[in-house]
Amino acid sequence: MAFDPIQEDCLRLTLETLRREHIYPLENEAVVQRCMDAYHSDPAQLIVHDRDRSFHLVAAATEAVDYRAPFIADDAEAERVTVQAEHQLQEACELDPGNWDAKRMLAALSAASNDEYVAYLIEHRPEVERDLARMRAEATDPYDREFALDLGQRPYLRWLGALASHALIAGKYRLALTCAEDCLKAAPDDPGEVRHTAELALAKLEATREELAQFRRTHAAAYLPPIPFRRRQAKPERTLDAWSIIAELACAYHDLDFAGATRSLRTLMKTYPRSAQPLYYQAEFPEGVFARVHVLPGSEDELILALSEATPLLQEGLGAPDNASLATWVATHPLVQEELSSLDVPTPGVVRRGRPGGDN
- 119 and 199 both lie in a single domain: yes
* Any domain includes 232: no
In angstroms, the CA 168 to CA 273 distance is 28
* Any domain includes 86: yes
Half-sphere exposure of 82 (CA within 13 A, CB side): 17
From the list 275, 330, 270, the residue with the least C-alpha distance to 302 is 275
- 263 and 177 both lie in a single domain: no
Residue-wise pLDDT tens digits, 142-187:
999 999 999 999 999 999 999 999 999 999 999 999 999 999 999 9
- 117 and 61 both lie in a single domain: no
Overall average pLDDT of the 331-351 stretch: 79
pTM of this structure: 0.92
The pLDDT assigned to 355 comes to 44
Residue-wise pLDDT tens digits, 274-329:
999 999 999 988 889 999 998 999 999 999 999 999 999 998 765 554 556 899 99
- 192 and 308 both lie in a single domain: no
The pLDDT assigned to 165 comes to 97
- 67 and 138 both lie in a single domain: no
- Which of the residue ranges 85-94, 127-136, 196-205, 220-229 would you say has the lowest mean pLDDT? 220-229
* Any domain includes 251: yes
- 217 and 257 both lie in a single domain: no
Helix (H) or strand (E) holding 292: none
* Any domain includes 68: yes
* Any domain includes 234: no
Q: Which of 194, 221, 248 is a domain's end point?
A: 221
Q: Which residues fall within 8 angstroms of residue 354, CB to CB, at 6 or more apart?
A: 315, 318
The pLDDT assigned to 303 comes to 97
* Any domain includes 226: no
Q: Which of 109, 144, 171 is a domain's end point?
A: 109
- 105 and 161 both lie in a single domain: no
Q: Which residues fall within 8 angstroms of residue 139, CB to CB, at 6 or more apart?
A: 145, 147, 148, 152
Domain tally, the chain: 3
- 102 and 128 both lie in a single domain: no
* Any domain includes 227: no
DSSP 234: S
- 98 and 151 both lie in a single domain: no
Contact 326, 316 (CB under 8 A): yes
- 104 and 118 both lie in a single domain: no
Helix (H) or strand (E) holding 75: helix 75-95
In angstroms, the CA 163 to CA 173 distance is 11
Range of the domain at 351: 239-360
Q: Which of 166, 190, 221 is a domain's end point?
A: 221
* Any domain includes 145: yes
Helix 100-110 vs helix 75-95: angle between axes, to the nearest 10 degrees? Answer: 140
In angstroms, the CA 101 to CA 305 distance is 22
Q: Which residues fall within 8 angstroms of residue 7, CB to CB, at 6 or more apart?
A: none
Q: What is the CA radius of gyration of the chain?
A: 22
- 144 and 204 both lie in a single domain: yes
In angstroms, the CA 292 to CA 295 distance is 9
The pLDDT assigned to 352 comes to 46
- 121 and 208 both lie in a single domain: yes
Is residue 348 pLDDT above 90, yes or no?
no
SS3 content of the chain, % helix, strand, coil (to 5): 65, 0, 35
Contact 48, 98 (CB under 8 A): no
